[in-house]
Structure 1
């Protein structure tokens, strides 16, 4: 799964666990609900400052939002 989708899914899970709507999370973060929705769906490549704002709104550390992101496998080099 792409990193944006992993982070978005984590944000959605935490928001739903808190019982909040997109609008409520947006208000807590100072962001428009349509933007938060795009982040949750993995449609936005978010900057670190956005991750920090959303994490603060959720009451978690920024690391919590990215902890499930995995590094891609390095490309295999073929020798001739």
Structure 2
């Protein structure tokens, strides 16, 4: 029997429809000045904040071998 394929919603997002954020947490990024952090990790975290999925008590700690100030890091990213 052949059935038509239909687009289905992602079942993992089903539980995220409710307005709730997780418990307070800290994300530590090793290699925070690198390409992966710039292109993938930071934009993904930004989207989670915009969608209010992350808790208000959320922090990011970035570690890198490249010495730079907070302002230099913001300009670079």
Q: Normalising by the residue count of structure 1, what TM-score does the alignment of the two structures yield?
A: 0.26
Structure with larger RCO (C-alpha < 8 A, sep 6+): 2
Whichever structure has more strand as a proportion of its residues is 2
Whichever structure has more helix as a proportion of its residues is 1
Higher-Rg member (1/2) = 2
